[in-house]
A and B are shown apart, each in its own frame.
Chain A
Amino acid sequence: MIVGIVGVPCWEEMQKYVKRGDIIIDLDDAIPEISIEDSYLPKIYCSILKRVTSNAITLAQAGKLHLILADVGEGKCDGMRYIASFLRELLPIPVVEVRNANSTGWGYPICQSQLPLRKKMELIVETVSKPINPSTKLQKTIPSCGFWGVPPSDFTLLELFPPTTHIYGWTRCMENKTPANRELELQLDEEVPTVFFTQNFCQRSALAFHLAKRYQGLFVQMDHHLTKSIRAMVEAFIKFNVK
């Protein structure tokens, strides 16, 4: 059976399916052969949730998805809760709504490691439902720069940052397996020049905007892809602020 997850459902919940040999796929991720359809959701909407919806509908209709495990609690967003409510009616497969309120942190060594920022992000996303490969060497670094926020729809953005960029915000909560831990989401290294990132049309942008002002960081929003102006802003911020 193929189980699609959205957000970060409880580890134990996902492992029930893993142990019986089911395949877990992350519906938040880009699937190369599936294009994002504008017909399912309003045009002006979060591109990650558009991707989740397109992935879920396309795969379910093709018989390549048999169950959806969707975090619809504080660990994800209101948008997913509303989408799950109509996916249940629309799809011929069960859509199980879960709420991950786990408060026991697993730690976040990937966020603080020497790996390039894109690799860090890929590893965090890959390990939502499976343990990290024990051969992966993670070396803790002193942060020269910070990336606060969610995994972006276009990971090219992350290639602009130095490897000593630490990850904060919801992505760090993802690695810690506590996606609803707002306290951790708000914790920062105040002296570290930080880029506060959210997707366009995400409610989290209110927090990112506030934190960017408070810590004199750079507030950046992106829709589908990295644009010339976003690239220029991030490059300029790193050039003048990161020593």
Chain B
Amino acid sequence: MSEKILIDCGTSYTKIYYIDQNYYDVVPSREFRKWKKELRIPLATGYNTRGTGEVQVNELIALAEGGLRLIPEDSFTLLDCGARDVKYLNMKEGKIIRMDWNTECGAFAGQVIELLINYFDIDPNKLPSDSEKIPVVCAVLGMTKMFDKIAEGVPYPKAFMGFLKGIAWNCYHLVDKPELIYLSGGLCENRAFINSFPCQVRPLGRYVLLEGLKSFYENPSRLRPLEETIKQSNPL
């Protein structure tokens, strides 16, 4: 019998929810694409979904639904920092009042952070908090500035922390400087990144989009296809 899963197939990692076992897993997306397991995927989301899954849900819809499921309030700012992009939405009483999906200028922020952590072989939980923010236009350009600092003699943990602060600063301004940000994505596990924000940050983990898919799987009526939404708006 084929295994039933929900997937959030991101640029770097695929987040998986095994429906019958009520179990989560994360595998590199390049490995997931090679899986030969017999799978049934009722719902899928994510940048790398590419035709996978019986129904594909766009990432912002999955994120919003996941936020509504996980966050006790129905008004909130939810920021998802992925490997490749940054997206956010601002909900007020269950309606989206602002959102953006920064696919270009958030360029590879998450992936670059992970690469640098591995390259420097540092523990992101042990970075100095007094680093000065490096102005970061995008992760790639920010990285060159960080290496300039290192060349000037700044210790690399300090320079890297400045780089993180620069990315956090961009994200904070992208979401319009709220007092509280709910954070989604793999960077929730990076305490230094969370501490880099000039506001309160509550990490929700990397399964927020999967929670959105779970909500739709459990309540299919909530995943009313857009076409149906269109049809139901009847003329006079």
The residues of A with any CB-CB pair to B shorter than 8 Å are: 114, 139-142, 144-145, 160-164, 193, 212-213, 216, 218, 227-229, 231-233, 235-242
Residues of chain B with a CB closer than 8 A to A241's CB = 95-96
Chain B residues within 8 Å of A229, by CB:
85, 87, 101, 103
- Of B96, B103, B234, which one neighbours A218 at CB under 8 angstroms? B96
CB B68 to nearest CB in A, in angstroms, measures: 9
Q: Which of B59, B61, B101, B231 contacts A239 (CB 8 A)?
A: B61
Interface size range of chain B in the complex:
20 to 34
CB pair A238 B94 closer than 8 Å: no
Determine if A233 and B99 form an interchain contact, defined as CB atoms under 8 angstroms apart.
Answer: yes
> Inside 8 A of B97's CB, which chain A residues have their CB?
216
Interface of chain B residues 92 through 110 with chain A (CB within 8 A): 92, 94-101, 103
Convert B42-76 into 0s and 1s, putting 1 for each residue whose CB lies closer than 8 angstroms to a CB of A.
00000000000000001111001000000000000
- A164 to B, closest residue via Cβ: B233
**A236-B60 contact given A216-B92, A218-B96, CB 8 Å threshold:** yes
B26 to chain A, nearest CB (A): 23
* A236-B89 in contact (CB<8A): yes
CA distance A239 to B62 in the complex (A): 11
Instruction: With CB as the reference atom, state the residue of chain B lying closest to A237.
Output: B96
B103 in contact with A240 (CB, 8 Å):
no
Contact B226 A239 (CB under 8 A): yes
Contact A232 B60, CB 8 Å, known A239-B226, A242-B229: yes
Q: Which of B89, B100, B103, B233 contacts A144 (CB 8 A)?
A: B233
Cα distance A141–B226 in the bound complex, in angstroms:
20
Q: Could you say which residues of chain A place their CB within 8 Å of the CB of B95?
A: 193, 216, 240-241
